[in-house]
Chain A
Amino acid sequence: MSRATRPETPAGTRCAHCAVPVPPALQQPAGAPSYCCRGCATAAALIREAGLQQYYGLPEGRDRPVTATGKRYDEYDHDAFQRLYVQRRPDGTASMELLLEGVHCRSCLWLVERVPLVLPGVLRAELEVSRAVARVTWDPAVTTLSAIARTLDTLGYPSHPFRGIAAERVRRGEQRRMLTDLAISGAIAMNVMLIALAMYSGWFGAVEAGYERYFRWISLLLTIPAVVGPGRVFFRAAWAGLRVRRLQMDLPVALALAAGLARGAVNTWTGVGPIYFDGVATLIFLLLMGRYLQHRSQRAAADATELTASLAPRSARVVDGGGLREVPTEAVLPAMLLDVRVGDAFAADGVVESGVSSLDLALLTGESRPVAVGPGDIVFAGTTNLSAPLRVRVTAAGEATRLGGILRRMEESAKRRAPIVQFADRMAGTFVALVITAAALTWWYWSTRDPLNALDHAIALLIVTCPCALALATPLAITVATGRAAQRGILIKGGDALEALATPGRIWLDKTGTITQGHARVVHFTGDPSAKPFILALERSSTHPVALAFTRAWPDLDAPTPALVEQVAGRGIRGVVQGRTVVVGSPEFVRAGLRSAAQVDPEDPVLTPVWIAIDGELVATAGIGDPVAVGAREAIAALRARGWRVGILSGDEPRTVAAVARSVGVEASDAIGAATPEAKLAVVERSLRDGRVVMVGDGVNDAAALAAATVGVSVHGGAEASLAAADVYLATPGLDPLVALIDGVGRTMTLLKRNLAFSALYNVFGAGLCAVGVIDPLLAAVVMPISSIIVIATSYRSDTFAPRP
């Protein structure tokens, strides 16, 4: 995810903190470090001050600029907040789990865990990289939680309170128990096997009768705890299955364990006949291994809801008798008056009371252009205020907001979605019926011909056909595939997604950030190039997307300082630069100030037109748009070649969506624009009736649709809520990883089917030998593990996901 080595370029061209190229205006004279932005400079100063220069020597460095939010995190010190999230220890210290944004590599781990050196009073910081959750312990007498959050923010890791502590603790306890059970059954299986080996070798030579009896008793004493300890899960599951009248894989396992143990115990007592302890113990171990692997690969998927909940906006500024008070979102109530600064997200739905500004609705609706609002207009929680402070009267807060509704529906659809019954599970019913019938038939057949050994033949069949290889086949193939995929930057949260992606269906792609690059750029600029510094002079003072597009377009230009700047929300910006009046904005806005009528060629419908006038003369026009990502067309063609029906589902303007669809080769009937989050969800649910649906998106506006789809795929740079809702996350930009994912899944399913076919073949073969009475305990003991080992070996040798090119 991060590059392996820091490129060897002279300081002064690359940022000393994040190695991103530095704009010429910010380059320092030789010797002094240059920074690409203020965020990096501040973070670097903090790191140097704490004596942590070693950070820059780490093999994996930071590869993107620090984007500190600059928030004050005052709400972290609020009583209501502390009661919810902070744990007090008897020794007076406090601790809390914080979900960090921007954690991506080893350097992050190094830096986050050294926060105690940066901020006195912090006693410990431990980061779990895979979940990006940091556990921080501090002394409340020395420092405050908000100070810790501000320090992390300055270093480039904005934090959110992690809300799923209780659920996480339960899952963690369960995993620890499973691991302990696995260890116990493993230790017992190895030792029983060793003893069995000694006895089998006695077949060829001679073991004194006394020792043989001794070995048998020891084996019995070892196997009993394995069956009643770790093995109890099979009895419980088999019983649960019987009660709902379903034939489950656990039933023959429980039968084999019980029959093997009982018959072995009787034979140990009498001293004649086979004991099955080695088989029984190995069985428990191998089956538990399969269960454990499956559980682990599903755990990540279970984190989803808590992570989403942790990301909702969490503080608001309430106007209270003339003063301002920062409160947690939980404390915001309808009828309160909120003060929303530029760059802040709205904490609740409301009506604008005073102020004129423009909003970024991208998070909620996917609309890529800013929308103007004034007094009386409705604003929604989760959208961002772009250009001027607003006062908003709250109409709905918390769960009642539109955002709250979307998140709730997302959770609901995530729950409602029935888990895909895996291939092995579908086989289970038939398999179980077959095995039990075969065992009964074997016993019936031999009971007339060889009454003494009839029961032994049946028990041998039950043990030999125990689905060890079968139980390992699916989880192993999935574990190996997800591991390899993760190395390629494709994070797959659950095995369900793999199976669902194996058969073609429908793919809905979000436009902004998925097919396109995700942020506005200056696509064309026609007119007098000498106007550029004047444009920059104005636009550098604004955070409006159009302004950012201009500053990104010409990072190397020097711009004069403007004497006067005035932003007109939703229309443009004007000011005085070097004594000349400069106006940049929408055609209507600029035309109003022109001295003569201007004639301009018709605009490209995909682009937002921007006119530039200096001293009342139109000097240039520009088109701002979000260009299609490189390779998108080829990737979509590749997906269609593999049988998928590709469509675009976007919140952006239908005209824009149609134009993008044309340029990437998607049929016009499959390009849907102006889709609200609710509409996206509805489209996905409608397509679900016709088969599998894969939704690919990056925003909060996609979250509900991502969760509802058979498989939700979130792409590089997406909003964290979409990451949480998705089953798959693609960490590299563009659509190529999506093609790699589909191809990898195809190979994984081939491997899985090969594994299952082999295990089934082994079972049929073993059952046949048992039924005719050929197999003896030695053969069974050798063949059973070998079949599992073959499954393990083929799984690890397979090329499910090719390494990163």
Chain B
Amino acid sequence: MSVLYLVLPLALLLVLGALVAFRWAARQGQFDDLDTPALRALDDDEAGRGAV
């Protein structure tokens, strides 16, 4: 059972990592428009929106 003293903080670190990733995604604006990407994903041809 004493492994809990190690595993619990590790698990919480994982949670922290997930939160940091989420915050990054939110600040990038990945959750701003939830309708359009759903429509866009169905097109296989991505060439039209070439990257800069």
Known: A109-B36, A127-B36, A187-B19; 15 extra A-B contacts, CB below 8 A, are: A52-B48, A93-B52, A106-B42, A116-B48, A116-B50, A117-B47, A123-B52, A124-B52, A128-B36, A175-B32, A176-B27, A180-B22, A191-B12, A191-B15, A195-B8
- Using known A-B contacts A116-B50, A123-B50, A214-B5, determine if residue A183 contacts B33 with beta carbons closer than 8 Å: no
- In the complex, whether A655 has a CB less than 8 A from a CB of chain B is no
Name the A residues within 8 Å of B32 (CB-CB). 172, 175-176
User: Smallest CB-CB separation from B48: which chain A residue?
Assistant: A114
- Contact flags B6-30 to A (C-beta < 8 A → 1, else 0): 0010011001001100110011010
Partner pick for A116 among B4, B18, B49, CB 8 A cutoff: B49
Over the window 101-141 of chain A, the binary record of Cβ atoms lying under 8 Å from chain B Cβ atoms (1 yes, 0 no) is 00000100110011011000001111111100000010000
**What are the residues of chain B within 8 A of A172 when measuring CB–CB?**
29, 32
Nearest 6 Cβ contacts at the A-B interface: A114-B48, A106-B39, A176-B26, A130-B35, A183-B22, A129-B36
Q: Do A211 and B36 contact each other (CB < 8 Å), given the known contacts A110-B43, A113-B49?
A: no
| CB neighbours of A110 from chain B (8 A) | 43
Distance from A32 Cβ to chain B, minimum over Cβ atoms (Å): 27
8 A Cβ contacts from A54-103 to B: 54, 91, 93
**Chain A positions within 8 Å of B23 at CB level:** 180, 183
Sample (5) of A-B pairs whose CB atoms are under 8 Å apart: A117-B47, A128-B33, A180-B27, A208-B1, A211-B1
B35 and A129 form a contact (CB under 8 A): yes
Cβ of A324 within 8 Å of any chain B Cβ, yes or no, is no
Note all chain B residues with C-beta closer than 8 A to A195: 8
Contact B8 A218 (CB under 8 A): yes
How far apart are the CA atoms of A190 and B51 in the complex, in Å? Answer: 39
Pair B36/A130 contact, Cβ less than 8 Å: yes
Inter-chain contact A130/B40, CB cutoff 8 Å = no
Give the chain A neighbours of B18 by CB distance below 8 A.
Answer: 187
- Asked if B4 contacts A124 (CB within 8 A), the reply is no
A105–chain B nearest beta-carbon distance, Å: 8
Closest to B15 in A: A187
Give complex CA distance A179, B43 in Å: 28
Q: Looking at A52, A125, A176, which has the most chain B CB atoms within 10 Å of its CB?
A: A176
Contact B19 A183 (CB under 8 A): yes
- Give A566 Cβ to nearest chain B Cβ, in Å: 49
Q: Nearest chain A CB to B18's CB is how many angstroms away?
A: 7
Which residues on the B side are within 8 Å of A54 (C-beta)?
45
Within the assembled complex, what's the spacing in Å between the Cα atoms of A91 and B49?
Answer: 19
Contact between chains at B26 and A130 (CB < 8 Å): no
Q: For the complex, what is the distance from the CA of A183 to the CA of B20, rounded to whole Å? A: 10
Task: Tell me which residues across on chain A come within 8 A of B36, comparing CB atoms.
Answer: 109, 127-130
Q: How far is the CA of A175 from the CA of B21 in the complex (A)?
A: 17
Chain A residue numbers with a CB within 8 Å of B35 are 128-130
How far apart sit A669 and B4, CA to CA, in the bound complex (Å)? Answer: 80
Q: Is the CB of B48 within 8 A of A179?
A: no
Would you call A184 an interface residue if the criterion is a C-beta within 8 Å of the partner chain's C-beta atoms? yes
Which of B22, B40, B52 contacts A113 (CB under 8 A)? B40
When chains A and B are docked, how far (Å) is the Cα of A517 from the Cα of B15? 58
Measured CB to CB, the nearest residue on chain B to A178 is B26
CB-nearest residue of chain A relative to B9?
Answer: A218
**A222 sits at the interface (CB 8 A):** yes
Bound CA–CA A185/B50 (angstroms): 38
Decide yes or no: A179 and B31 within 8 Å by CB, A184-B19, A218-B8, A222-B12 being known contacts.
yes
A contact residues around B26 at 8 Å (CB): 176, 179-180, 183
